[in-house]
Structure 1
Amino acid sequence: MKSWIRFRFALGRIGFGVLENHRVTEYEGDMFGDAVPSANVLSVDDVTLLNPCVPTKVVALWNNFRALSEKLGKAAPSHPLFLIKPSTSVIGPGEPIQRPQAYAGKIAYEGELAIVIGKRCRNVPVDEANDYIFGYTCINDVTAAELLNEDPNFAQWCRSKGFDTFSCIGPAIQRDFDWRNAHVVTRLDNVERQNYPLSDMIFSPAEQVSRISHDMTLLPGDVIAIGTSIGIGSIKDGSTVEVSIEGIGVLSNTLLSGA
């Protein structure tokens, strides 16, 4: 199965290309434009995987799964509920999640599917939205949970989720992905904590892209984290979170204590 990746190799040079059967074919041009294969073929063992795209923003949904909505006693939303995470929060597979220096509280993981936008997207009808989806990847939407309601006057979604390293994305982008038959599995130190079907989502990927594109312009490489389901939990310093989706891969990141 072909997967699109970004990687570092050869004295720190960064490239992108297609991973297939442990071999990487480097491409030239623009991943989201006129990308063409080069003559450079590498072993995956000779490269370091990076976050597979470089978004200008991460749009993160809340309350988009029926099971979690029912557990929380929340009504299904009539429009996607979301916040924006900055581009500086993005890291790739294997990179450490850094505890914020001034924060000693609970840090939570959320294993999710992520949509990667392939072309400029504004006011797109739902029946055309799939044409704007480049592919899908995994994301761990990390949260400094105790900051969310620290001030009773204002829920601090962006602050609690926007720290550097709090959007772990990867390992690859899969273009031919059947989300209807897939599950998200999250493991904390090799113990399964989440295992939920993507078919349980309230707004489909096409509906998310369409509706959000009427609220803001989505650009190539932007990411929509489609929300999570039951099983959210906290990460101790030194613990490793693995988010896996069959057909995409395994995203692994370890929480390090603040410097």
Structure 2
Amino acid sequence: MRIVRYAVGGVRHYGEFEAGDARIVRCEGDLFTGLAPTGHVDEVGDVVILPPLERPRVFGFAYNYASHVDETDRDVPEVPVCFMKPSTAVIGPGEAIVYPTDGELIHFEGELVVVIGKEARHVKPSEAREYILGYTCGNDVSDRIVQRKESAFGTLLIGKGQDTFAPLGPVIATGLDPSGLSLTTRVNGTVKQSASTADLLLAVPDIVSYLSRHLTLLPGDAIMTGTPSGVGPILPGDEIEVEIEGIGVLRNPVVAESL
């Protein structure tokens, strides 16, 4: 399934895209215990596509592609480098990434995102997929100047967690094998990142297992798995596209902050 969260007349629904993505089969039920078609179909032009999850906890994995480790001139981490983004950082397809008034160097980072489907604790890698609902696209927007200053003191929040710095979508794709999906990021139509999730240093089952070893994962948690090489700056007026095989294209414009 390619599950989409959307609104019609201010009422929110989950549904499934039909082939061609022009229509959505509206569903009833719960995202985590089961959705069933209602028989009603909505035209995409009549709806607003929302973030696929409502206020999720967002976890991130840094330096999880060797190519990105190389471009940052660092060593491969001895342990996974993790961080979190506030739920208020999450936006959906078509929503604007806000470039802060005091921003100096804001980067895009295209990533595969894991969506947790049920509570997970002390999960073995071989069992991890039983706890995964599906996958979506993500953009780990980062304020590099703030990030570097925070990281120098062993912290990381504002550099990654500002409002609109976690675009997710457009759908939650279920039934995918995450071990070799193509990932492409474009800025204004120009390809900036092109990689495969086969190149993840810590694969998806290991990511879920590692986090669940140390904390309880909850239904609706989103895990950004890391970005490959090619990250770079964005500016107001740009449009960023993150495309992942089997999921679709997450597209967001960039606008200047208005106070």
Query: Shorter-chain-normalised TM-score: which range?
Result: over 0.9
Query: Is contact 1:65-1:229 (8 Å) kept?
Result: yes
Letter in 1 for 2:13: G
The match for 2:17 is 19
Q: Which moved more, 1:128-137 or 1:156-165?
A: 156-165
Q: Deviations over 1:198-226 (max 9, x none)?
A: 10101111110011011211111110000
The match for 2:112 is 113
- Aligned mates of 1:152, 1:63 — CA distance in 2: 14
Q: TM-score, normalised by structure 1?
A: 0.93
Query: Is contact 1:141-1:166 (8 Å) kept?
Result: yes
Q: Which moved more, 1:31-40 or 1:135-144?
A: 31-40
1:23 offset after TM fit, Å?
2.5
- Aligned mates of 2:41, 2:24 — CA distance in 1: 6
Q: Which moved more, 1:128-137 or 1:14-23?
A: 14-23
Gaps of 5+ in 2: none
The match for 1:41 is 41
1:236 offset after TM fit, Å?
0.9
Gaps of 5+ in 1: none
Query: Is contact 1:136-1:173 (8 Å) kept?
Result: yes
1:148 offset after TM fit, Å?
1.3
1:7 offset after TM fit, Å?
0.3
Letter in 2 for 1:79: V
Is the alpha carbon distance of 1:151 and 1:6 closer, same or farther for their aligned partners in structure 2, counting shifts above 3 Å? closer
In the alignment, structure 1 residue 61 sits paired with structure 2 residue 61: yes
The match for 2:202 is 203
The match for 1:254 is 253
Letter in 2 for 1:97: I
Query: Is contact 2:59-2:85 (8 Å) kept?
Result: yes
The match for 2:5 is 6
SS in 1 for 2:138: strand
What value does the CA root-mean-square deviation take over the aligned residues? 1.6
The match for 1:31 is 31
In the alignment, structure 1 residue 239 sits paired with structure 2 residue 238: yes
Query: Is contact 2:141-2:165 (8 Å) kept?
Result: yes
- Aligned mates of 2:150, 2:185 — CA distance in 1: 30
Q: Which moved more, 1:53-62 or 1:168-177?
A: 53-62
Counterparts of 1:1-259 in structure 2 under 5 Å? Answer: 2-9=1-8, 11-21=9-19, 22-101=22-101, 103-150=102-149, 153-259=152-258
- Aligned mates of 1:78, 1:242 — CA distance in 2: 32
Query: Is contact 1:147-1:156 (8 Å) kept?
Result: no
Query: Is contact 2:184-2:193 (8 Å) kept?
Result: yes
Query: Is contact 2:121-2:215 (8 Å) kept?
Result: yes
1:41 offset after TM fit, Å?
1.5
Query: Is contact 1:80-1:212 (8 Å) kept?
Result: no
SS in 2 for 1:29: strand
Query: Is contact 2:103-2:143 (8 Å) kept?
Result: no
Q: Deviations over 1:17-47 (max 9, x none)?
A: 1112232111112111132221222122221
Q: TM-score, normalised by structure 2?
A: 0.93
1:230 offset after TM fit, Å?
0.6
Is the alpha carbon distance of 1:145 and 1:153 closer, same or farther for their aligned partners in structure 2, counting shifts above 3 Å? closer
| Structure 1: 4+ residue segments shifted above 4 A | none
- Aligned mates of 1:12, 1:28 — CA distance in 2: 17
Query: Is contact 2:66-2:201 (8 Å) kept?
Result: yes
- Aligned mates of 1:247, 1:158 — CA distance in 2: 31
Q: Deviations over 1:111-159 (max 9, x none)?
A: 0110000011111111111100111110010011111123685154211
